[in-house]
A and B are shown apart, each in its own frame.
Chain A
């Protein structure tokens, strides 16, 4: 790879850390406005570099190697891009940009600490998807987790005490169980290190026995599954997203949650294909619970933020269904789905928070008729809902299409049951639009409806960024599928299915 790739990839990951350190060093000298400006600058730099790095990777076309490593920056961990990590890096940078821009519109107490934590989290997210070393992926993931905890406790909304603790315990449990799985792979194969390449090489020379594959994959599936809110380990997710400050919830639900799926796709399934084959039906059944059971739960929600949070748990079920097929089509669909869902859920969390702040109501039944006062907000909200439902033109559509197509050859019954997910999301999504924006304002809202302002400038920019990338990926899905195909086809594990 050329030097521009090295520079852009390293900048994308390490710029947020560097700017966080700058804010910490200049703590006494700068005010909260300057800190916010530094954070915005950092996100912008990271976004542009991530875009350039991903474009550099995409330009390689069919020459793409499995992993495109970047030159190591001093003694910092080495980074590399692959067909899965490139879209994830771009997702992380995009949602980070939107979350930072959105934060600019807020009046935050102790803003310097807020932006330091936000930047550390962004760096952690970008690093988690691009590290060349499995151990470092794990560590970057925790870099992102701890700031969420602190931010939830300081700036969270009601019920944050228990929600923050529940999130920390669940996610640490999941992370530790998967860490034991990673150690097991390392110990059983006798790999020379935790490098992706070292482990891949060790697996080829000394394959893991079926016995061990069964148990190790179980650890990785349930450990990483907890991070992705796989049924029945999902209870932390809705409360966390409803309580966390919105920017952190956007990053967590949109990006951090995809880390478990990313590790399964790039590490667990290629290394342990027999184990995955043993567990794939269990995984599919659990994922159906995510789709159907959580679908019903989502429909019953009256709190708009909780509804969006539950819907994200449901959509993770679709991704797991794609993984269960162990085919290039299904897993590739899961990758687009992760990308699209990351953007759409971040958008929906942001918009629902705006709605709640404007109306001082969390209950959708007590809203209504906002369309006339806030047409632009309503427009974005409908666009976000359409993306969530999976209409064409949005990235999610291609994901759901590919997943369901490949599910048919995996099991027609599971395919049929999984397809109900589309119906569920249409029902609760459109009903939310109708209850919030259509009709006439109900109850207290009708008294102060005239004081409700439309979406502000910074919020508009943040939402536009997310919608633009959603539509870009929805109209040119090849940007994601081509690199992903190259990577997935190079893993024997994904060539057994159809």
Chain B
């Protein structure tokens, strides 16, 4: 019988810290008067920093800790963004603290989702996180587009949850027939010849594809990102995508195609994943070309990045011998993606109105003249997303290209290169808008001091991490 004392708390240290402090913050936000609300926010931040410290000090499983840290940093940045967001809405510190608590709960759910080996726990964790995300999407109660985004996300999220649950049910049934516990991912390889199990696996994958906005389940992303409050959009674009990809990578790492009769299954799986990855890259990049709205553009950029990440997963399945490098590349890619995306979302939030639903690229005209340093930092982040050296985004793509070459996915590699070239158009359009002189209306872009520092810091990280890679690679 497991008790509270015998339970291995170290395995869920980050989730526990986040949940405990989120509950504390929520309770004190309700109980304490207005003048203490800043301290309540501080309490919530203490919880997030504690989770980071715990992960760094007791780094027992590197992948879990690195992944958890990424999600917690997303939560930190989103919480930081929420300050100016709620100021612009004119809402009290209490609403903000509720929001931060929801973000922390959601982060805890996402970390557990990527942490667990058990499908049932994964499902419960995902639902816990997703319900928080619905709330985050609809948090501007007075804004129609935010409510619309919330409803859209609710329907899509409910559908993907149902698909996933159905898949898990299929797996459970297959497990009862074969006498294997298919709720545990470690046994997945045993079910690869079972039709029910494979159907279940496909459904689970489809559910996760919804979460990471991969083709053909990508259509919701632009609408939801555009309508939702900007801090929430950033969290959807980064944290929930990171979680989904890490979950997929985890399942794929457990799949073992070594026996001879599984070779054809392996080929099918790799081909299916590659086709989905290629289609996601194409759809994301072609969709991005026509976008003038910044938040929609970031959504399409996110779709294409989901495609590149799927290339990485397909490469892992096709060439298991490169698995030793896989986790490093995955975390590196996700980290680079996170930094660049958050810098851009923070910039999107630095306009006078609260919901930036109608913000276009031309709103940035004149910002190079008005805020040269921030604009330069944003250009670095855009270049990182576009994969221009020497940013970390370039190294992330380079590593994916190398692994895809080793996996002999040549045509996919071609699509990836073509997609990257197409993406230059919309990322550089943003830089071009910043460099152009402002037309009739003066430039509204007015970053706060905190936002400026964060954006510049992220740009420096984007460059410094690649410098670290070079030093590390140079030492080898």
Binding site for B on A (CB under 8 A): 24, 27, 75, 77-78, 110, 112-113, 133, 135-136, 138-139, 142-143, 145-146, 149-150, 153-154, 161, 164-165, 168-169, 172-173, 176-177, 179-180, 183-184, 186-187, 192-193
Question: Which of B401, B436, B471 sits near A179, CB closer than 8 Å?
Answer: B401
- Asked if B74 is at the interface of the complex by the 8 Å CB criterion, the answer is no
> Which residues of the other chain, A, contact B470 by a CB distance below 8 angstroms?
75, 77, 136
List of 8 A-B pairs having minimum Cβ-Cβ separation, nearest first: A139-B389, A153-B435, A173-B421, A139-B390, A142-B389, A154-B435, A176-B417, A172-B424
Would you mind naming 10 contact pairs between A and B with Cβ atoms under 8 Å apart? A112-B372, A142-B388, A142-B390, A149-B431, A153-B436, A161-B432, A165-B428, A169-B421, A169-B425, A183-B405
> Which residues of the other chain, B, contact A176 by a CB distance below 8 angstroms?
387, 417, 420-421
Chain A min CB distance to B66 (Å) = 24
> Which residues of the other chain, A, contact B476 by a CB distance below 8 angstroms?
192-193
- Asked if B29 is at the interface of the complex by the 8 Å CB criterion, the answer is no
User: Contact at A154–B389, with CB atoms within 8 Å?
Assistant: no
Q: How far is the CA of A113 from the CA of B402 in the complex (A)?
A: 36
- Asked if B369 is at the interface of the complex by the 8 Å CB criterion, the answer is yes
With A168-B424, A169-B425 given, is the CB distance from A143 to B417 under 8 Å? Answer: no
Q: A75's closest neighbor in chain B, by CB?
A: B471
Given contacts A110-B372, A149-B431, A169-B424, 8 further A-B contacts (CB under 8 A): A75-B471, A135-B398, A142-B394, A150-B435, A161-B432, A165-B432, A180-B417, A183-B402
> Which residues of the other chain, A, contact B429 by a CB distance below 8 angstroms?
165
| Max chain B C-beta neighbours (<10 A), residue from A78, A150, A193 | A150
User: Contact at B421–A150, with CB atoms within 8 Å?
Assistant: no
User: Contact at A172–B421, with CB atoms within 8 Å?
Assistant: yes
User: Contact at A172–B388, with CB atoms within 8 Å?
Assistant: yes
- Asked if B260 is at the interface of the complex by the 8 Å CB criterion, the answer is no
Q: B473's closest neighbor in chain A, by CB?
A: A193
Chain B min CB distance to A481 (Å) = 33
> Which residues of the other chain, B, contact A161 by a CB distance below 8 angstroms?
432, 436
Binding site for A on B (CB under 8 A): 368-369, 372-373, 379, 383, 386-390, 394, 398, 401-402, 405-406, 413, 417, 420-421, 424-425, 428-429, 431-432, 435-436, 467, 470-471, 473-474, 476
Chain B min CB distance to A51 (Å) = 27
Q: B470's closest neighbor in chain A, by CB?
A: A77
Chain B min CB distance to A390 (Å) = 36
Chain A min CB distance to B348 (Å) = 21
Q: How far is the CA of A113 from the CA of B368 in the complex (A)?
A: 9
Q: How far is the CA of A112 from the CA of B474 in the complex (A)?
A: 34
- Secondary structure of the A side of the interface? helix
> Which residues of the other chain, B, contact A192 by a CB distance below 8 angstroms?
476
Q: B406's closest neighbor in chain A, by CB?
A: A187
Q: B422's closest neighbor in chain A, by CB?
A: A169
> Which residues of the other chain, B, contact A187 by a CB distance below 8 angstroms?
402, 405-406
User: Contact at B383–A146, with CB atoms within 8 Å?
Assistant: yes
> Which residues of the other chain, A, contact B368 by a CB distance below 8 angstroms?
110, 113, 150, 154
| Max chain B C-beta neighbours (<10 A), residue from A113, A172, A183 | A172
With A169-B424, A169-B425 given, is the CB distance from A146 to B379 under 8 Å? Answer: yes
Q: B433's closest neighbor in chain A, by CB?
A: A153
Chain A min CB distance to B413 (Å) = 7
Q: How far is the CA of A77 from the CA of B406 in the complex (A)?
A: 27
> Which residues of the other chain, A, contact B467 by a CB distance below 8 angstroms?
75
Q: B467's closest neighbor in chain A, by CB?
A: A75
Q: How far is the CA of A149 from the CA of B433 in the complex (A)?
A: 12
Q: How far is the CA of A136 from the CA of B469 in the complex (A)?
A: 12
Chain A min CB distance to B402 (Å) = 6
Q: How far is the CA of A187 from the CA of B469 in the complex (A)?
A: 19
User: Contact at B435–A186, with CB atoms within 8 Å?
Assistant: no
Chain A min CB distance to B137 (Å) = 34
Chain B min CB distance to A32 (Å) = 13
> Which residues of the other chain, B, contact A77 by a CB distance below 8 angstroms?
470, 474
With A150-B431, A165-B432, A169-B421 given, is the CB distance from A138 to B389 under 8 Å? Answer: yes
| Max chain A C-beta neighbours (<10 A), residue from B368, B413, B421, B471 | B421
> Which residues of the other chain, A, contact B369 by a CB distance below 8 angstroms?
110
User: Contact at A164–B417, with CB atoms within 8 Å?
Assistant: no
Q: B420's closest neighbor in chain A, by CB?
A: A176
> Which residues of the other chain, B, contact A24 by a CB distance below 8 angstroms?
373
Q: How far is the CA of A145 from the CA of B470 in the complex (A)?
A: 20
User: Contact at B420–A172, with CB atoms within 8 Å?
Assistant: yes
> Which residues of the other chain, B, contact A184 by a CB distance below 8 angstroms?
405
> Which residues of the other chain, B, contact A154 by a CB distance below 8 angstroms?
368, 435-436
Question: Which of B406, B413, B428 sits near A149, CB closer than 8 Å?
Answer: B428
Q: B390's closest neighbor in chain A, by CB?
A: A139
With A150-B379, A168-B424, A176-B417 given, is the CB distance from A27 to B372 under 8 Å? Answer: yes
Chain B min CB distance to A78 (Å) = 8
Q: How far is the CA of A142 from the CA of B384 in the complex (A)?
A: 12
> Which residues of the other chain, B, contact A183 by a CB distance below 8 angstroms?
398, 401-402, 405
Chain A min CB distance to B247 (Å) = 29
